[in-house]
C-alpha cells in the first residue's frame, strides 16, 4: 500500500510540477508554489511544493507531503509518514501540446521510490484572462529497496482553471491497482524574466 500511495501521491500532486511549463510562455522563467490534498477510502495526504520552470526546457521542483493511512482492522494502527520528493521534467515539445519525460525520487518512512513518468498537457483559452489546462500523466514506480521486483503503475488526469496567468486550481484523479485516488490542488506562478528560447 505504501508504494501505491507514494506513487499516486507523486503523480497526482506532482503533475502541476511535471507540467509547470504549460503555465508559462516559452520565453519565460518562473517560480511556482503549490498546495494539494489527496484522499481515497483509507488514505489522506497533504502537500506543499515549489520549484522553477525554464520555458520550454526544464522544470525543477521539491515537494513535502504528510500522509495518513487508516489501519485495516481492529489490531492495525494507522500509519503516518512524511514524504520528501525531488522532481525534474524534460520538455520534449510545446507545439500544440506539451510533452514531457519526468523523473522523481520520493522518500518516506524508510522507503525510497524512483518514479519514471510521461506527461501530456494542453491549454485551452476560455476567456481573455481564463484558460483551462488539461493534463494526463502515467508513471512506473520502483521501490529501490527491492528493485526491480516491487513496482507499481498508475495514471492520473487533472483539469485546472488558470486565471490571469498567475493562479490555478483544480481537481485530479488517479488510478492504480483497482483503486481510485482523488486530489485537489491550488498554485501560483511567479514569472521572473523572458529569454530567447524558441520552440
> In order of start, what are the domains of the chain with their CATH numbers?
2-194 (2.40.160)
Report the pLDDT value the prediction gives residue 188, as an integer from 0 to 100.
93
Report the pLDDT value the prediction gives residue 125, as an integer from 0 to 100.
95
Q: How far apart are CA 65 and CA 197, in angstroms?
A: 33
This prediction has a pTM of 0.82
Could you tell me the pLDDT band of residue 192, with boundaries at 50, 70 and 90? Answer: confident
For the chain, how big is the Rg over CA atoms in Å? 17
Closest CA to 53 of 198, 192, 199: 192
Instruction: Tell me the mean pLDDT in the region 182-194.
Output: 84
Lowest mean pLDDT among 14-23, 109-118, 164-173: 14-23
Q: 143-163 b/e with 16+ CB inside 10 Å = b?
A: beeeeeeeebebbbebebebe
Cβ atoms within 10 Å, residue 187: 22
Amino acid at each position: 500500500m505504501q508504494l501505491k500511495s507514494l506513487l499516486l501521491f507523486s503523480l497526482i500532486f506532482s503533475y502541476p510540477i511535471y507540467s509547470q511549463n504549460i503555465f508559462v510562455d516559452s520565453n519565460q522563467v518562473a517560480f511556482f508554489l503549490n498546495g494539494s490534498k489527496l484522499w481515497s477510502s483509507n488514505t489522506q495526504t497533504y502537500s506543499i511544493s515549489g520549484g522553477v520552470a525554464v520555458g520550454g526546457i526544464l522544470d525543477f521542483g521539491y515537494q513535502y507531503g504528510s500522509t495518513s493511512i487508516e489501519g485495516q482492522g481492529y489490531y492495525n494502527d494507522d500509519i503516518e509518514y512524511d514524504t520528501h520528493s525531488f522532481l525534474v521534467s524534460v520538455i520534449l515539445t510545446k507545439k500544440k501540446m506539451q510533452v514531457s519525460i519526468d523523473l522523481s525520487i520520493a522518500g518516506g518512512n524508510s522507503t525510497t521510490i524512483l518514479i519514471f513518468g510521461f506527461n501530456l498537457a494542453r491549454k485551452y483559452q476560455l476567456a481573455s484572462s481564463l484558460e483551462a489546462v488539461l493534463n494526463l500523466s502515467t508513471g512506473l514506480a520502483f521501490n529501490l529497496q527491492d528493485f526491480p521486483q516491487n513496482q507499481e503503475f498508475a495514471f492520473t488526469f487533472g483539469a485546472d482553471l488558470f486565471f490571469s496567468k498567475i493562479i490555478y486550481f483544480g481537481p485530479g484523479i488517479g488510478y492504480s491497482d483497482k483503486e481510485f485516488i482523488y486530489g485537489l490542488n491550488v498554485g501560483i506562478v511567479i514569472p521572473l524574466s523572458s529569454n530567447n528560447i524558441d520552440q
